[in-house]
Structures are given as C-alpha cells and as structure tokens.
Structure 1
Amino acid sequence: MIGAPHLVSDVMTGTVVALRRGATFKEIVRTMQRWHVSAMPVLADGDRVVGMVSEADLLPKEEFRDGDPGRWTQLRRLADLVKAGAVTAGDLMSAPPVTVEAGATLAWAARIMALHQVKRLPVVDEEGALRGIVSRSDLLKVFLRDDEDIAGEVRRDVVAELFPAPPEPIRVAVRDGVVRITGRVTDTALVPVAARLARAVEGVVDVDCSLLGPRRHPDLDPDLPDVGMTAPPPGAVGAG
C-alpha cells in the first residue's frame, strides 16, 4: 500500500576516499586533511571493505606519545595502547567493519548506526566490495521532502486505499512535515491504521489523525453523539 521506501543507494555518496592496508600513519593523516573526512574504509583485494580508520583510531599515538602508562592504564586501555604503536592502516583500523548494503532501507541503516554507535557506514555489494558511503546527515535528507509531495502520497496510498468511499471528503494537510488528516469515515476502526501508515511515509515528522465517524441522524438515533476517534500517540497502551 505505502510507496516503496527510500534506499541507502538513493542517498549515499558514491565517490569514497579509501585506504589500503599498507597506508602509513602520515599518509592517513594527510588524506583526511586533504579530503576533509574524519574516517575512511580500508580495502583489501577486490575493493572488499575489511575495516575503518577514524580520527579516534589515530589519537592514541598523540595521547601516549610523552608518557609511560601505568599498569592500570595498560590493563584498561590495551587496545588504545596497541594503536598508539601502530603505523599502518591495517594495524590501526577497527575491524570487522560495520557495513550496509545499497538495497537496505534508510530505517535499517539508521538502526545499524544507532546499535553500533557509528556516524557513517561503508556501503557494500553482496561480495563486500565498496560501493559508497552513507552518513547520518544522508539519512536525514528524507525530511527535506516537500510538504505537498508528502500530502500527495498520504492521499493516494493511505486515504484512498483505506477509505475509498467516505461519507464526506477527507482532507490531508501537511505543514513542516506534520500531517493532519480530518473528515468523516464509515469505519472508525481504521483510523489508528491510517495514522500508523501515514507516519510510515518518509519525510513525515508527526501525524494528527482527527477523523470522525459518520454524522448521526437525530430522527434515528437521538441519544447517540457523533462518533469520533483520534489516533493514540506512538507507544500509547489501551486500558485493559
């Protein structure tokens, strides 16, 4: 029902500065400075990504340059001390690399970044070869989507599918990514479904789904109020 989600391939950067295992410490620093990047993938044969080198991997060399770390530091920060003595990308890199495939959704890439606490992901093919890189800022590009574009998708893929013959016209308005759906529907049980599907449309910041049931007829049901239903906020749990 909902249009196809944006994929990593839609927002990734295709031209990537990368390193080979044998790149020296100073080569790495010069490359970072030249290309204004803070991390680079390390490649093996066939452009297969085998690790990542970031500024955080380089800093231990400066941190421990003048001092002789005590035993407590040696025990707690052994990995950093090893990197302080490393001189090539193969020794400095963090491995195995955290990667994502080009066909993954942006939501999946965001989950991987959050889980592994990384700011960028090398994009690889099925063989693990480098195809691009995606960053946090790339994943946020969907929120630049035009409001009317979002509204059109909600009308077409949510409202028209769930409520093909509403008793009154259903209105969809979007402002700064916030979707507001108003009008009357025959089956109010579908209102929470509409809210959930609208929230899944890419670029949507929030949803106010204020759909009501059909108007009452005083001659037929004088004691019944208009039936209305507002979708519960995300995470809300109904009373048992």
Structure 2
Amino acid sequence: MDGTPTVNDVMTRTVVAVRPDVVFKDIVKTMKEWRVSALPVLDGGGHVVGVVSEADLLPKEEYREGDLGRHGQAHLADVRKADAVTVEDLMTAPAVTVQPGATLAHAARLMARNRVKRLPVVGDDGTLKGIVSRSDLLKVFLRDDEDIAEEVRREVVVRLFGTGLVPVGVEVCDGVVTLAGRVDDTRLVPLALLLTRTVPGVVDVRSALTGPRRHPDLDPDLPEEDQPGPERTASA
C-alpha cells in the first residue's frame, strides 16, 4: 500500500440500503439479517438522503410508556421517532458522507466530529459507492512491519538523505519505526520524522539520528566526540 491510503482502499463495497418508505419491522429484520447497526437511505435515483441506525429505533422502546414528564422537552425529537413507523420519519438527515478519494484521517475526523460509527461513501453525483466504518479505518495498522520499513527507506530516507556510505537504518516493530544513524544535515531530522508518520501503518516514530562526526584536527574549537563540554548552568 504505497502512498496515502484513501477511503476507497478500505471501504466495504457491498452495502445493503433501504428506501424512505420501508416500515419499522422491516428495518429491524434487515439489520438482523445483514448484521449491521445502520443502513443508508436512498431515494429513487440511488442518492444517499439519510441514515437510519439502531439509535433511531431505540426510542420506540424507550418511550413505550409515553412518560414525557420524566424525560423533559430536550428529548422531543426522540419522542417523535418513537411514534414513527417508516424510514423517512426515523432516519437522520442529511447523512454525513465521504467520498472515495478522501484520506483515512479525513474520514476519522468526520466520524469524531459528528459522533458516528460509519460513513456512506458517495460519488460526485451523490450515489452510494460503499460504506466505511471505524474498523475499516483501522485496517491500515495490520500492515506488515517489513512493508512499512521498505516504504520508509524508499520514500523518506533515500529522498532526504540519499544512500550514503553509512545509510540511515530503519527498524519497525509492531508499527513503531526507529530511525538510526548519522546524517550530514540535522535540520532534516524533524522533516524525516514527520514524513515517516504519514506512511500507512505507522503507529509511532522514534529517532536515534545524530549529526556528523566531529574532527578536532579540523575544528579545534569543538570538543572531541563523546567528550563532555564545559558545564552549563540554567539561567532564569
């Protein structure tokens, strides 16, 4: 998986959806049959117009006794859903959707911001292409460590530091990348860490990068490598 992964790489393409006129019991049956907790709602043209979820159905049970006084005015929307019998009256609309080319980070932000567990994936015309869930977004972290290491070497190390006589080493363990070695320009280290974090599957990045060796004969004013310099005290 080279490059930045997108929703298209991880989404589920086989999706069950419902029409606005589907009745309550058929919604429940469909969810049970397909083992899903939410369904996209499509109009006659296949465009996503909303989403109906278990959360939209639960008020039917929660307000079975019609006890408004105990719940207060803040829950009137749920009370209305308790009286609803079709998808059109139950669904949450408009639906929060994402396009196939969106990054996984963008999809994750949409889910967090809107407090949803899944997003219908739509094309430019608004028609349903698939669905992406929280678990789909986590698939990228199943990537093999060696695959991650190879991409870091190719896309980060070689591009920034070249091959060199003593190349920068890349080790990956459970998605955690460690960069080690000497580099001529330490100003590139923060960029290397930043770019490594963007590689699909990377969980964390650690640096053991150091600058070039010092040569006391060429730089007499600099202390020799591994020799302690003059003691410094912190000042206010």
Q: Please, what TM-score do these two structures have when normalized by structure 1? A: 0.89
Partners of 2:223 and 2:132 in 1: CA distance: 52
Question: What is the CA distance between 1:165 and its match in structure 2?
Answer: 5.2
Aligned residue identity for 1:7: T
- 1:87-129 CA-to-partner distances (Å, cap 9, x unmatched) read 0001000000000011111111111111111100000001111
SS in 2 for 1:217: coil
Q: 1:155 aligns with which of 153, 156, 179?
A: 153
Query: Is the 1:215–1:226 contact (alpha carbons within 8 Å) kept by the matching residues of 2?
Result: no
Partners of 1:79 and 1:101 in 2: CA distance: 29
Query: Is the 2:4–2:198 contact (alpha carbons within 8 Å) kept by the matching residues of 1?
Result: no
Partner of 2:232: none
Aligned residue identity for 1:117: R
SS in 1 for 2:157: helix
Q: Return 5+ residue gaps in structure 1 as ranges.
A: 229-240
Would you say how many aligned residue pairs link Structure 1 and Structure 2? 225
- 1:29-88 CA-to-partner distances (Å, cap 9, x unmatched) read 111111111100111021100000001100111111123322x73521110011001000
Question: What is the CA distance between 1:167 and its match in structure 2?
Answer: 5.6
Equivalent residue runs for 1:37-56 within 5 Å: 37-56=36-55
Identity of aligned residues (%): 64
Query: Is the 2:215–2:224 contact (alpha carbons within 8 Å) kept by the matching residues of 1?
Result: no
CA pair 166-209 structure 1, distance change in 2 beyond 3 A: farther
1:31 aligns with 2:30: yes
CA pair 89-83 structure 1, distance change in 2 beyond 3 A: same
Query: Is the 1:212–1:227 contact (alpha carbons within 8 Å) kept by the matching residues of 2?
Result: no
SS in 2 for 1:100: coil
Q: 1:137 aligns with which of 135, 138, 152?
A: 135
Aligned residue identity for 1:176: D
Partners of 2:203 and 2:224 in 1: CA distance: 29
SS in 2 for 1:46: coil
Q: Return 5+ residue gaps in structure 2 as ranges.
A: 227-236
CA pair 165-36 structure 1, distance change in 2 beyond 3 A: closer
Equivalent residue runs for 1:1-240 within 5 Å: 3-70=2-69, 73-164=71-162, 166=164, 168-225=166-223
Question: What is the CA distance between 1:216 and its match in structure 2?
Answer: 1.0
SS in 2 for 1:51: strand
